[in-house]
């Protein structure tokens, strides 16, 4: 999945050093040093899009969109506000804020609904929360090797204790609340 971030302003700490940044394709929202204040993307469906970022088409239609976030074989689906969708290739544009919200809400959903979480889910949550392996270990009170065994369990259920899952869930929920992200089902 790539994210398209628009109108990122240097006055709030944009790493690209331009007053109005060009649209940037990112592999993960953590890859950009831009701020949440100015990365609004296309939350307004009437926003003017010049060309599709993928196929260069100028054909767009406003559509309701369901975003999917995958952690291994597990998927969390989130309905987002209507937006412009390229009618030729189906490409959609998301703001960095929407991408962060989707990933954080997915963390909460996975940790709440999959028990015990798979290694892929633990890895997904660790990356979304920006935790290094040693951070994960310190937060959950275990050695780094033990935390690594949870992450590298792959598709299998990890051996992560319920207390550690509760800690990660509390952190993800706290992030959502601090950023005013809606945790209700959409």
- What is the Cα–Cα distance from 154 to 157, expressed in whole angstroms? 8
What residue spans of 11-57 are helical by DSSP H? none
Distance of CA 78 to CAs 106, 153, 162, 172, Å?
A: 9, 27, 26, 16
What domain count does the chain have? 1
Alpha helices in the chain, H assignment, sequence order = 96-113, 119-128, 133-140, 144-151, 162-178
The pLDDT tens digits of the residues spanning 42-72 come to: 333 344 446 788 898 888 888 888 888 999 9
Is 183 among the domain residues?
no
> Could you tell me if residue 164 is inside a domain?
yes
Query: What pLDDT, on the 0 to 100 scale, is given for residue 135?
Result: 94
Model confidence at 185, pLDDT cuts 50, 70, 90, reads low
Taking each helix axis from N to C end, the angle separating 119-128 and 144-151, rounded to the nearest 10 degrees, works out to: 110
Give me the mean pLDDT over the 129-149 stretch: 94
Is there a domain that residue 186 lies in?
no
Does residue 11 fall inside a structural domain?
yes
Higher pLDDT: 184 or 40? It is: 184
The answer to pTM > 0.75 is no
Does any domain span residue 184?
no
Helices 162-178 and 96-113: crossing angle, nearest 10°? 150
The answer to whether residue 185 is domain-embedded is no
Assigned domain for 21 exists: yes
pLDDT of residue 143: 95
109 CB contacts (<8 Å, ≥6 apart)? 76
Domain interval for residue 60 = 3-178
Tell me the sheet residues that pair with 26: 3
Determine, yes or no, domain membership for 19: yes
**pLDDT above 70 as % of the chain:** 72
Pairing of strands 24-26, 3-5: antiparallel
């Amino acid at each position: 999945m790539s994210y398209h971030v628009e109108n990122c302003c240097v006055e709030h700490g944009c790493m690209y050093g331009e007053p109005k940044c060009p649209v940037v394709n990112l592999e993960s929202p953590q890859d950009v040093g831009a701020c949440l204040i100015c990365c609004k993307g296309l939350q307004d469906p009437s926003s003017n899009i010049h060309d599709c970022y993928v196929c260069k088409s100028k054909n767009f239609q406003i559509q309701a969109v369901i975003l999917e976030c995958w952690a291994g074989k597990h998927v969390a689906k989130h309905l987002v506000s209507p937006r412009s969708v390229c009618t030729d290739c189906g490409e959609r544009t998301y703001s960095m804020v929407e991408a962060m919200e989707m990933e954080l809400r997915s963390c909460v959903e996975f940790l709440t609904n999959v028990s015990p979480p798979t290694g892929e889910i633990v890895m997904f949550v660790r990356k979304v929360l920006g935790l290094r392996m040693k951070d994960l270990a310190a937060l959950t009170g275990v050695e780094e090797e033990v935390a690594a065994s949870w992450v590298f369990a792959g598709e299998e259920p990890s051996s992560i204790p319920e207390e550690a899952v509760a800690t990660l869930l509390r952190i993800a929920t706290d992030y959502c609340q601090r950023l005013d992200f809606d945790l209700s089902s959409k």
